[in-house]
Amino acid sequence: MDAPVKVQVRIKPSAKWNNLPQYSNGDLLSDEDSILVKLSTTKVEFNQEKEFHFDHVYDINCNQKEVFEKSTLPLLNQLILGYNVTVMAYGPTGSGKSYTLGTTNSNMELACSNHDDAGLLAQIISWIFSRKTDSTEEQYQISKVQISFLEIYKEEIFDLLSPVVSKIEVKNDKVENVIMENITDLEVHNQEKALHLIRKANLRRQVKKTKSNDSSSRSHAIISLKLEIQRNGEIRHAVFKIVDLAGSEAVARDGTTGEIKNEGIFINKGLLALGKVINALNSKNVSHVPHRESVLTRALKDSLSGNSLTVLICCVKADVQSIPTTSAALQFASKARAIKTRVQSSFKTPLKPAQVQFKTPSKMHFKTPRSTPWRTPFAPIERNITVTPGGSSFAVPEQLPMSEKCPNLDESILVSGSFKRNLSKQSVSEDIENRIQIAVMERVDSFLEGFKDKLAHSLLANCSQRLSCQSLLGENAKSNSYHITSYGSEPDALNLTSVLTDSISQINDGRRRSTRLAEKRQTLSNVTVNANDSKLMVPTPRRSSTRKTVKRASTLPLPVPEGKSEQDIAKYKKDMLDYLNRASQSQMQKLPSIGPKAGHSIITYRNLNGLFNDLDTLKLVPGLRKNFHENFLKVNFLD
């Protein structure tokens, strides 16, 4: 099974004491899955914006638990089914990689005192041991946990858990599998022992004070937790790798010297080779992937292209001075997003995740994932599924007939399968619920799969990611209505892109779906405007553009107020603002003076900055004509 590497970004807040300005005025804007970097504020020669899309972006306010829940918990759920998984942190020096992964000893101390700032590693260990202890009734039982800790320092691999630090040779077998022999795998029986061993290994790690970081990792670290899992007497293994890459360093710019400079050169060399491997894996025309170029890329071969489900967390800093390194790191990370690994469970017939009950271990108090009852783009048509309580049959909605098109969208997009689960928790057995989820997810996935090449990749991936997330969050979804929407005909790429962009803004909008729908209906009912109404003036087309079609009165989305009282005008302005905040690309284009480009710019701005507070904010939207605002007010009778 092909599995795309999931790429997430974490933005580290500027340290308060260093007085560096945070990103402001749109130097770096982020929403849940994209980042816009303005390069105009840097010394970079070109003056432009760059937009990157990721599977998730954590802003400066996110905490360690949130990162764990969104990046690692889904991996743990797969690990237990016999899949190898990797979580890897990449980014410039001092950007928070070790903090996020929690690989440092100071972080281990926090973990021991159950502190909220404990990083991923401690949370992973805690999850594994809670699961090991509580798993007597589970189908998959963890029977053994082993730990190993490797360090890649100056292009050599060291085993930090062997009695005396020893070098590990890396070889390749005949079919180019990487073999690292004699690694010390120590069995651990509880969380305390595991943390103790990591602390011990950390004391042997190469860490130094540099200009950018008081305790900078001078090496890459690979910590592996090897699990022995039993199911019905069958014993299999699966490995969780935690990879803490050393940060890329501006050796020349920082003016480092001596050993630190030397180490920096080796670090950059390994990361450069990693970049080349990712480029090669991305490119369809390259037959050779230069895994052998560095020890790092050899050691990470499985995580990048072999048998591993991989999440890459790119850490960047939130200060203006770091924009060049931030931009380079984001570029690297966005390339990694296109690569795929080939995963296989060590169990011959693993159950699907939703068939296995994943309990959050009782000892850990995870924050409940944010309640997002409506994460799929839209589902104007809902169907109830008939579920026989306690029985075994269930119905998955059939593809809707061509006639049942979504009313608000362009004709090319269909809703092919959607259901609403509003049955009470008690009336449906867990098993049936899980099976419904699987069946619908499979349908959705296969629909999306067919469109992958034709669509804006990032948005589509986004969409399927959201859907997958929802399936994994089955536990959480219990109390909510559960909706799945997929696309049944071959859509025009641009249309779908704009619909998805639009939907993301609706999701970000955070309003309850029911309210949104009611408002939408209200807006739609307003669309019926009497074409013969003499008060409704239609703007004359510009002479220069003969191709432009005039917006007919009957298609104008908002009725112009009949009276001229201040109250009427204020209401009209408010309606217009609401409309701008809600309209999809096609609805936006119904407004006079808004064409496809302007509509797209407004929606993009809205997605990144939130809703418009007033009509004057349109002046801030990049990409609009100079006199757009003035013209817009005029032709829409708002001046």
Annotated binding site for ATP: 91-98
Least distance from ligand ATP to the Cβ atom of residue 32, Å: 17
**Between 199 and 238, how does the x/- string for binding to ligand ATP read (CB under 6 A)?**
--------------x-xxx---------------------
Least distance from ligand ATP to the Cβ atom of residue 119, Å: 9
Q: How far apart are CA 391 and CA 187, in angstroms?
A: 44
User: Pick from 97, 291, 435, 600: which binds ligand ATP (CB under 6 A)?
Assistant: 97
Count other C-beta atoms under 10 Å from residue 20's C-beta: 14
Q: How far apart are CA 484 and CA 440, in angstroms?
A: 7
Task: Kindly tell me which of 13 and 539 has the beta carbon lying closer to ligand ATP.
Answer: 13
Name residues contacting ligand ATP, limited to 388-427 (CB under 6 A): none
- Classified as helix, coil or strand, 632 is helix
Task: Kindly tell me which of 216 and 501 has the beta carbon lying closer to ligand ATP.
Answer: 216
- Coarse DSSP helix, strand, coil percentages of the chain, rounded to the nearest 5 percent: 40, 15, 40
Residue 304 contacts ligand ATP per CB under 6 A: no
User: Do the strands 340-342 and 186-187 form a parallel or antiparallel pair, or are they unpaired?
Assistant: unpaired
Residue 315 contacts ligand ATP per CB under 6 A: yes
Q: How far apart are CA 420 and CA 379, in angstroms?
A: 10
Q: How far apart are CA 509 and CA 374, in angstroms?
A: 11
Task: Kindly tell me which of 209 and 542 has the beta carbon lying closer to ligand ATP.
Answer: 209
**What is the distance, to the nearest Å, from the Cα of residue 533 to the centroid of all Cα atoms in its chain?**
49
DSSP 95: S
User: Pick from 14, 42, 78, 93: which binds ligand ATP (CB under 6 A)?
Assistant: 93
Residue 317 contacts ligand ATP per CB under 6 A: no
- State both tokens at 409: 């969208």
Residue 8 contacts ligand ATP per CB under 6 A: no
Task: Kindly tell me which of 88 and 413 has the beta carbon lying closer to ligand ATP.
Answer: 88
User: Do the strands 34-38 and 28-30 form a parallel or antiparallel pair, or are they unpaired?
Assistant: antiparallel
Name residues contacting ligand ATP, limited to 238-257 (CB under 6 A): 246-247
Nearest to 614 by CA among 600, 626, 632: 632
User: Pick from 99, 447, 482, 628: which binds ligand ATP (CB under 6 A)?
Assistant: 99
Task: Kindly tell me which of 95 and 497 has the beta carbon lying closer to ligand ATP.
Answer: 95
Least distance from ligand ATP to the Cβ atom of residue 150, Å: 16
- Alpha carbon distances (Å) from 242 to 20, 102, 354: 31, 10, 25
Count other C-beta atoms under 10 Å from residue 573's C-beta: 16
Least distance from ligand ATP to the Cβ atom of residue 69, Å: 16
Residue 91 contacts ligand ATP per CB under 6 A: yes
- Looking at 96-104, 339-347, 496-504, 588-596, which segment touches ligand ATP (CB under 6 A)? 96-104
Least distance from ligand ATP to the Cβ atom of residue 13, Å: 6
Least distance from ligand ATP to the Cβ atom of residue 331, Å: 17
212-225 residues labelled b (16+ CB within 10 A) or e (exposed):
bbeebbbbbbbbbb
CA-angle at 326, arms to 321 and 332, nearest 5°: 160
What ranges in 510-635 are assigned the alpha helix state H?
A: 513-527, 566-582, 585-588, 596-609, 628-635
- Looking at 87-95, 437-445, 470-478, 535-543, which segment touches ligand ATP (CB under 6 A)? 87-95
Residue 96 contacts ligand ATP per CB under 6 A: yes
Using CB under 6 A, list all residues that contact ligand ATP. Answer: 12-13, 91, 93-99, 213, 215-217, 246-247, 315
